[in-house]
Structure 1
Amino acid sequence: MTETIANVPYVSLRVGMEAELTRALRADDLYVYANSSGNLNPMHLPKEDGDGDGRPEAVAPGMWVASLISAVLGTRLPGPGTLYRAQTLEFVGQAHAGDVLTARVRVLAKEPGRLVRLATEVFGADGTPVLRGEAEVIAPERALSFRADDIPGLTVQSHRHFDRLLELAEPLPPIPTVVVAPEEPDSLAGALLAARHTLILPILVGDARQIEKAAQEAGESLEGIQIVDVPDHKAAAARAVQMVNEGLAGALMKGHLHTDVFLAAIVQRDTGLRTARRLSHVFVMDVPGLDHLLMVSDAAINIAPDLMAKADITQNAIYLAHSLGVAEPRVGILSAVEKVNPAIPSTLDAAILSKMADRGQIKGGLVDGPLAMDNAVDLGAAMTKGIKSMVAGRAEILIAPNMEAGNMLAKELTYLAHARSAGIVMGAKCPVILTSRADDEHARLASCAVAALNAAHGGGV
């Protein structure tokens, strides 16, 4: 519920009156301030080392701290209708991301023309002073109240969940990874970037001349990198799979070749990397504003999966979530509506999958469906519909009814909600890093981190 804020007009102000406001300084506040003010001093940016001492400072800009005083004046005392005339500031301490700060003002004097002087201060949770000074304002003439119902909100486009995945993955031993046809700059640079982050140990299989040309265009060195010259893409994919089966590599990564050619070698019955479970693709997505990773499956392999294929898709996603540190992931089985309707087959599949999970045929997660997108991810929407569920409103995995729906959902999150995505194929003998040719190096890096964590977890099984 939005708070109603009211003022104290000039005639009602008395010397000695006080008001205060307490709030936590979040890392996101520093990014908002940097963007709105143009102050990109690295001393104030959460992940930057601004003074070269080897650690980030994340010091709050002095004027951000001072803005807390403005907030008290504008919302508490005198409140709505107040205008600044002057402010003195003495910075006597520092605040950092994570600190809880209190700003306090106290009326010192009333002067003609509705002028009011106030003592101002900001201090930390332990009482340590950060700022003190004196403000002069024009107080409001009449009583006013205000509800900020329609103030636009802000979502910082940070990707802290992917940052955490990288932190978890980088101490692990690099996985020997066959990169198939990295014959253009982006796909090659992504693999080499992952190697620099010690996520993978790349083995490049493809047209050696094209790979060397891509390295020159990307300004990359191939020194110390094993290259297996197989110019034909179909043969390169087959050779890569063979290397995994021979124990020469522990993961596969798609380069600049068509997905169907890449996957065809993996699903070969006798020579591929099949297991008892069906292969499925999982997008691991870091959506700005969402407080957890979001997984979407299947958006790339199974076009129109039947019930048992969906069971494997669901199980694969759960196993992947386990390897990323989610002990009991919440899985929402999506459809257009949240009620079973025989005219919508995906609602029947969703209800059966939920019951299969209840009976232990799908293990390791909380599974519920059918759920529409809104009541899968928004608790308010779920409550409005009267859905009582441990999954509704807080799903961490979304199982799409078919590939078209999953693909559209993932790309809408990427291009409209500014999500970043990692892509991996589950259900094979080893992690399969399946990136799009449109992915940037950050997406490829995140995909390698997911693969590394999955491999360290024994493939998620």
Structure 2
Amino acid sequence: MITHLSELAGMAKKKARKTIAVAAAHDREVLQAVVQAYRQGIADAILTGEEEKIRELLREEDCDPGQFRIIPADTDQECARKTVEAVRRGSAQFLMKGFLGTADLMREVVNHDTGISGGGFLSHVMFFEQRNYPKLLCLTDGGMCTFPTLEQKVQILKNAAAVMKRLGYNRIQAACVCGAENVNPKITATTDADRLTKMKDQWEPINMNVYGPVGLDMAVSRESCAHKHYEAEGAGEADILLVPTYEVGNGIGKAMLYFGGAKNAGMIVGAQAPVILVSRSDTAESKLASIALAAITAEAPGGENETGTV
């Protein structure tokens, strides 16, 4: 079971080497992470974008541009389209956003005719390593689905659980984070949480326990549970934090990063291939961890899943 982000690279190296397709790869920080992933044996790369700038940036990293396939593209839309096309053709097994807008890339990912959504429900998972928490904490969804319905929350939980399984987690504890532990018919987050906990037929086949509504403190702290006499299986030991809205997830995640000094790695899941959406403020360590995470969860070259169906 993976408990630290630094372990992701080691796990990725043990699997079949993948290829990452980078949209608008003319970005120094992104290329630094791609070069590290290549040198560590995690992934090869297909780079789309401004060809001469990409070559120049690679040389500045003391890397031979000839090690990578570079596909010229003049616009953000063209970068995104050619990157998604590489995955559709099987040349690459996952995607990464470079120097272009998230909307430009995702528009091509979900394109009905040429995209790679495959009819799946897309959601964002972000893994955090905290100094005072003994394992990785998966936060979802703080980057894709803004106001998920009850049905969408079911899919968000299943998407997150599938990734946790790939990381070696057997029994998964998922907390439905709300502002309070009481079910209030006027607060949708609490009624959704209550209904989710009762969907045993959804969770038992994937060996996941879902509990809530529960405050963030009691989701991750057994001491808080003891003080407030909150008892539920998995309480205080969450693997997954299901948040009620995008803003809640975004706020918790950034608080962990900027106030808690956490490390992070994340991606969009649910499509035919993982999609890494990095921020320019993400560290090189975070970007590399995200590449390793995607390499672990992506299908092996040729379409065969290395770990079987989750």
TM-score (norm 2): 0.92
What are the Cα deviations for residues 357-405 of structure 1, in whole angstroms up to 9, with x where unaligned? x122685211111111001000111122222211210001101111111
Partner of 1:204: 47
Give, in angstroms, the shift of residue 163 of structure 1: 2.0
**1:324 maps onto 2:167 in alignment:** yes
**Which secondary structure does the structure 2 equivalent of 1:161 belong to?**
coil
Partner of 2:294: 451
Q: Is the 8 A contact 2:22 2:48 kept in 1?
A: yes
Number of residue-to-residue matches in the alignment: 302
> Following the alignment from structure 1 to structure 2, what is the Cα–Cα distance between the partners of residues 383 and 351?
21
Partner of 1:260: 103
* Counterpart pick for 1:381 among 207, 224, 227: 224
Superposition CA RMSD, Å: 1.9
**1:367 maps onto 2:218 in alignment:** no
Q: Is the 8 A contact 1:185 1:217 kept in 2?
A: no
- Structure 2 CA distance for partners of 1:327 and 1:443, relative to 1, 3 Å: same
Tell me which amino acid in the other structure corresponds to 1:342. Answer: P
Tell me which amino acid in the other structure corresponds to 1:390. Answer: E
* Counterpart pick for 1:442 among 285, 290, 296: 285
Give, in angstroms, the shift of residue 275 of structure 1: 3.2
**1:226 maps onto 2:69 in alignment:** yes
**1:296 maps onto 2:139 in alignment:** yes
Partner of 2:78: 235
Tell me which amino acid in the other structure corresponds to 1:228. Answer: I
Q: Hey, which of these two has a bigger chunk of helix by percent? A: 2
Q: Is the 8 A contact 2:5 2:265 kept in 1?
A: no
Give, in angstroms, the shift of residue 171 of structure 1: 2.3
- Structure 2 CA distance for partners of 1:394 and 1:304, relative to 1, 3 Å: same
* Counterpart pick for 2:236 among 393, 396, 411: 393
Tell me which amino acid in the other structure corresponds to 1:196. Answer: R
What are the Cα deviations for residues 132-166 of structure 1, in whole angstroms up to 9, with x where unaligned? xxxxxxxxxxxxxxxxxxxxxxxxxxx97112222
Partner of 1:140: none
Q: Is the 8 A contact 1:274 1:429 kept in 2?
A: yes
- Structure 2 CA distance for partners of 1:199 and 1:459, relative to 1, 3 Å: farther
Structure 2: gaps (5+ residues): 300-305
Partner of 1:162: 5
Give, in angstroms, the shift of residue 261 of structure 1: 0.9
Partner of 1:406: 249
> Following the alignment from structure 1 to structure 2, what is the Cα–Cα distance between the partners of residues 363 and 349?
21
> Following the alignment from structure 2 to structure 1, what is the Cα–Cα distance between the partners of residues 244 and 141?
8
Partner of 1:415: 258
Partner of 1:277: 120
**Which secondary structure does the structure 1 equivalent of 2:31 belong to?**
helix
What are the Cα deviations for residues 260-288 of structure 1, in whole angstroms up to 9, with x where unaligned? 11111111122111134310010011111
* Counterpart pick for 1:172 among 1, 5, 15: 15
Q: Which moved more, 1:270-279 or 1:411-420?
A: 270-279
Give, in angstroms, the shift of residue 218 of structure 1: 4.5
> Following the alignment from structure 2 to structure 1, what is the Cα–Cα distance between the partners of residues 279 and 307?
25
**1:192 maps onto 2:41 in alignment:** no
Give, in angstroms, the shift of residue 460 of structure 1: 6.6
Q: Is the 8 A contact 1:299 1:406 kept in 2?
A: yes
> Following the alignment from structure 1 to structure 2, what is the Cα–Cα distance between the partners of residues 391 and 276?
32
**Which secondary structure does the structure 2 equivalent of 1:190 belong to?**
helix
Give, in angstroms, the shift of residue 215 of structure 1: 2.9
Q: Give the structure with higher Rg (CA).
A: 1
Tell me which amino acid in the other structure corresponds to 2:79. Answer: A
What are the Cα deviations for residues 322-355 of structure 1, in whole angstroms up to 9, with x where unaligned? 0011012110011111111112111111111111
* Counterpart pick for 1:315 among 130, 136, 158: 158
Tell me which amino acid in the other structure corresponds to 2:23. Answer: V
Q: Is the 8 A contact 2:59 2:65 kept in 1?
A: no
Q: Is the 8 A contact 1:170 1:198 kept in 2?
A: yes
TM-score (norm 1): 0.63
- Structure 2 CA distance for partners of 1:363 and 1:259, relative to 1, 3 Å: farther
> Following the alignment from structure 1 to structure 2, what is the Cα–Cα distance between the partners of residues 460 and 189?
33
Tell me which amino acid in the other structure corresponds to 1:289. Answer: N
**Which secondary structure does the structure 2 equivalent of 1:223 belong to?**
helix
Q: Hey, which of these two has a bigger chunk of strand by percent? A: 1
Q: Is the 8 A contact 2:123 2:144 kept in 1?
A: yes
Q: Is the 8 A contact 2:3 2:134 kept in 1?
A: no
> Following the alignment from structure 1 to structure 2, what is the Cα–Cα distance between the partners of residues 371 and 460?
30
Partner of 2:302: none
> Following the alignment from structure 1 to structure 2, what is the Cα–Cα distance between the partners of residues 336 and 450?
31
> Following the alignment from structure 2 to structure 1, what is the Cα–Cα distance between the partners of residues 262 and 308?
25
Q: Is the 8 A contact 2:265 2:287 kept in 1?
A: yes
Q: Is the 8 A contact 2:9 2:289 kept in 1?
A: yes
What are the Cα deviations for residues 100-159 of structure 1, in whole angstroms up to 9, with x where unaligned? xxxxxxxxxxxxxxxxxxxxxxxxxxxxxxxxxxxxxxxxxxxxxxxxxxxxxxxxxxx9
> Following the alignment from structure 1 to structure 2, what is the Cα–Cα distance between the partners of residues 402 and 349?
12
